Amino acid sequence: MRRTIIAANWKMNNLTGEVKNFFAEFGDTAVNSENEVVIAPAYPYIALASALSAGKNVTIAAQDVYPKAEGAFTGMVGGKMLADLGVKAVIIGHSERRRIFGEPNELIREKVKFVQENGLHLIFCVGETLPERENGSMFDVLKEQIYSAFDDNLTLAPEKITVAYEPVWAIGTGVTATPEQAAEMHTFIRRILKERYGYEDSRILYGGSVKPENIQGLMANEDIDGALVGGASLKASSFMKLVNFQAVK
């Protein structure tokens, strides 16, 4: 049985006061939930979020990492810093990093390797753009993203390898993939994980305009093991509803 993960990606949002308010309101929500709760604040707020969520069943994640322990890498945050801050999971390959910052598959592969070497839970993002969906190449796009990162590069147990399917056209747009569209892609990813890597127990999350109003429909499918949430995770009131949701498969 794969445990559902509800993960918050705060991106470049939530300042000190908002982080404090969030955890004050969030309280013991994760302790009382059946779901695994992950929150990824921006780097400067990781320490605060770690402190405010200590002992409350929340896994604090980073939104990225530079794949070195430490050293002369101006502007970057590396492995030792994440460990020092209590980070247990890292999001890699988010479409905003791929597109806005031009991260190529080779660098993403290095990061996937690094996250595993450091024993951290990997949350690896894949997803197609709207033109790629419209011209029918979405399966090939996903294959390339997954193969280039995972082939001969998976060292951690399946439970610590999570894939997030985030169609770029659904991120921050209010347009959600239909449960059928999401299910088709998740089943495709599930088959690759099983047949190519022998990984049966990895979780596959859906991301892209997930809200309390649409989570139930999306999570009904067997192959959808949770959600990676941007906008609807910023406020505790809405994220709590997502964390408290119970999957009916």
- Cα torsion through 223, 226, 34, 232, rounded to 10: -160
Q: Does 4 bind ligand 13P (CB under 6 A)?
A: no
Check 36, 94, 121, 132 and give the catalytic one: 94
CB of 94 to ligand 13P, least distance (A): 6
CB of 123 to ligand 13P, least distance (A): 9
Stretch that binds ligand 13P, among 49-57, 139-147, 222-230, 235-243 (CB under 6 A): 222-230
Question: What is each CA distance from 154 to 41, 73, 112, 150, 224, in whole angstroms?
Answer: 26, 26, 8, 6, 21
Nearest residue to 96 via CA among 14, 6, 171:
171
- Which one among 208, 215, 239, 245 touches ligand 13P, defined by CB under 6 A? 208
Whether 186 is a known active-site residue: answer: no
Helices (H), 16-104: 16-26, 46-52, 79-84, 95-99
Say what angle helices 138-150 and 179-197 make with each other, to 10 degrees.
40
Question: What is each CA distance from 30 to 117, 123, 142, 245, in whole angstroms?
Answer: 28, 19, 32, 11
Distance of alpha carbon 149 from alpha carbon 110, whole angstroms: 8
Q: Does 172 bind ligand 13P (CB under 6 A)?
A: yes
CB of 55 to ligand 13P, least distance (A): 26
CB of 63 to ligand 13P, least distance (A): 8
Q: Which is nearer to ligand 13P, 98 or 190 (CB)?
A: 98
Whether 144 is a known active-site residue: answer: no
Please name the helix (run of DSSP H) or strand (run of DSSP E) that holds residue 240, with its range, or none. helix 236-243
Stretch that binds ligand 13P, among 74-82, 132-140, 153-161, 226-234 (CB under 6 A): 226-234
Stretch that binds ligand 13P, among 43-51, 111-119, 138-146, 165-173 (CB under 6 A): 165-173
Residues 6+ apart with CB under 8 A from 112: 92, 93, 122, 124, 149, 150, 153
Check 96, 132, 166, 186 and give the catalytic one: 166
Q: Which is nearer to ligand 13P, 155 or 173 (CB)?
A: 173
Q: Does 230 bind ligand 13P (CB under 6 A)?
A: yes
Residues marked as catalytic: 94, 166
Residues within the interface to ligand 13P (CB under 6 A):
9, 94, 166, 171-172, 207-210, 228-232
